[in-house]
Amino acid sequence: MAPRTPIGRLAFPGAGASHRSILHTFTLDSSRLDYNAPLGASDVRRWQQSKHWGRSRHHTGRANAFTRMPIYARIAIPLLLILLIGRLAWQSVHSIRRVSHPQPAVYSDSTLAAAVPVAPWQRDFSDSLAESLQAAAAGNLTAAEVAVDRSESILTAARLQSFTADRSFFSGANAALDTVIAKTQNERLFDHVTQARVSLAELRSSLNEPAGDVTGPVRIDAPRTIAANETFNPHALGGNYLDATLMPDTAEILLPPAATRSLKEGLPGPRQGEPGSSDGVRVENITIAGAAQTLDGIRWRNVTFVGTRLRYEDGDLDLENVRFVRCRFGIPSDDRGARLASALALGQSSITIQ
């Protein structure tokens, strides 16, 4: 006969005793159950203890796992959780404050701080210049050039999207460009900075508005030749508005004798020190719109350019009360070109370069 294995209990109320129960053990022998003698009190207690242990051993195992941890671990884990929650809460509050109260970038250099703006594109421009300044100070000229080029592209995008800026932005931006180039006398970086100044001048020009006192507009579709020592004014033109918008964008509007000779000889425009660089030609009191014009070799007084491509080719320059409205500039990346670009970016209307 197979050994008996206790696996449970059954209670059978007796017929003559309503409050008594008969405890039996049963064994598993193949597929049949056998009942045997009643269990004793000690057997019942052991069975009850094993029953309660089976129900609670899962929870007891978890508690024992925590109590078996070292004391320092039981102290360190709660502290780390508190620090993590505090860090997340601080970052959330800081992010909300930055979104609701945006702060401009702060730079150690005073000239860069003067250029700190409020508009997002202006802030990006100042950040690019700050990055260029740091790279130039560290001797990384390639990174400085890339940062200056990025600031120049931001100015171009602002002009194309008709963004606005006040005078303080232009003065601060021009001073920041001075600071960048002052960190190193590298010729390549100077070229990049000068082109950024040109873009700054074009942005400034895009914000200007033409005067409304137009009388008798005169339209031309071919360049106008001016003789030596001639004064080209409303009397000579027959009006105070010269409309050259029918001409190609690159076509020259007014041709002084020096420019005429240069065209015939296939040479560039008049340059400082060259024979015939000053022919005594004066242009006064008119508005010129469209096409292109070289500024060298002519004395300009009370003139407004509207939508004109203006060239400067390192010659003598004499501007008196000259305004530029939505104009583009072709300026060389040398000392004289940098002086002109800087003056135009600052909105100066009277400029002399000799």
Residues 108-134: what's their mean pLDDT?
76
Neighbours of 107 (CB within 10 A): 20
Instruction: Answer yes or no: do 62 and 78 share one domain.
Output: no
Instruction: Answer yes or no: do 265 and 330 share one domain.
Output: yes
Residues 21-32: what's their mean pLDDT?
42
Q: Which of 172, 206, 240 is the last residue of a domain?
A: 206
Q: Which of 183, 206, 229 is the last residue of a domain?
A: 206
212 in any annotated domain: no
Q: What three-state secondary structure class fits 318?
A: strand
Sorting pLDDT into bands at 50, 70 and 90, what band is 108? very low
What confidence score (pLDDT) does residue 79 get?
81
Range of the domain at 195: 110-206
Neighbours of 10 (CB within 10 A): 12
Instruction: Answer yes or no: do 238 and 288 share one domain.
Output: yes
225 in any annotated domain: yes
| 297 token code pair | 């070799």
Domain count, the chain: 4
CB neighbour burial string for 282-321, b if at least 16 within 10 angstroms, e if fewer: bbbbbbbbbbbbbbbbbbbbbbbbbbbbbbbbbbbbbbee
Instruction: Answer yes or no: do 92 and 122 share one domain.
Output: no
Per residue in 153-166, pLDDT (tens digit) is 999 999 999 999 99
Beta strands at 309-311 and 282-289: parallel, antiparallel or unpaired: unpaired
Instruction: Answer yes or no: do 235 and 330 share one domain.
Output: yes
Per residue in 70-95, pLDDT (tens digit) is 777 778 888 888 888 877 877 766 55
Which residue is listed with tokens 């070292």?
Answer: 70
327 in any annotated domain: yes
Residues 120-127: what's their mean pLDDT?
95
Q: What is the DSSP string of 189-212?
A: HHHHHHHHHHHHHHHHHHT----S
| CB neighbour class for 263 (10 Å; exposed up to 12, middle 13-18, buried from 19) | middle
Q: Which residue has the higher pLDDT, 200 or 39?
A: 200
Q: Which helix (H) or strand (E) holds 325?
A: strand 317-325
Reported pTM: 0.66
What confidence score (pLDDT) does residue 83 get?
81
Instruction: Answer yes or no: do 234 and 195 share one domain.
Output: no
Instruction: Answer yes or no: do 86 and 114 share one domain.
Output: no
Contact 333, 191 (CB under 8 A): yes
**Within 207-334, where are the H helices?**
234-237, 257-265
Q: Which of 206, 235, 265 is the last residue of a domain?
A: 206
Instruction: Answer yes or no: do 23 and 42 share one domain.
Output: yes
Contact 353, 340 (CB under 8 A): yes
What confidence score (pLDDT) does residue 342 get?
97
Q: Is pLDDT at 316 greater than 70 in this prediction? A: yes
1 in any annotated domain: no
What is the helix, strand, coil percentage profile of the chain, to 5?
45, 20, 35
The C-alpha atoms of residue 130 and residue 150 are separated, in whole angstroms, by: 12
What confidence score (pLDDT) does residue 284 get?
97
338 in any annotated domain: yes
Alpha-carbon distance values, 310 to 23, 246, 340, 345 (Å): 115, 17, 12, 14
3 in any annotated domain: no
What confidence score (pLDDT) does residue 193 get?
97
**Chain center to CA of 317:** 36
Instruction: Answer yes or no: do 78 and 62 share one domain.
Output: no
Q: Is pLDDT at 44 greater than 60 in this prediction? A: no
Instruction: Answer yes or no: do 290 and 326 share one domain.
Output: yes
Alpha-carbon distance values, 343 to 52, 175, 190, 353 (Å): 94, 12, 16, 11
Q: Is pLDDT at 322 greater than 70 in this prediction? A: yes
Q: How far apart are the first and last CA of the chain?
A: 128
Instruction: Answer yes or no: do 132 and 187 share one domain.
Output: yes
266 in any annotated domain: yes
Q: Is pLDDT at 178 greater than 70 in this prediction? A: yes
Listed residue (315, 318, 291, 313) closest to 303, CA to CA: 318
Instruction: Answer yes or no: do 229 and 343 share one domain.
Output: yes
2 in any annotated domain: no
| 129-133, 168-172, 181-185, 269-273: least confidently modelled range | 269-273
Alpha-carbon distance values, 205 to 264, 296, 325 (Å): 33, 19, 5
Contact 30, 12 (CB under 8 A): no
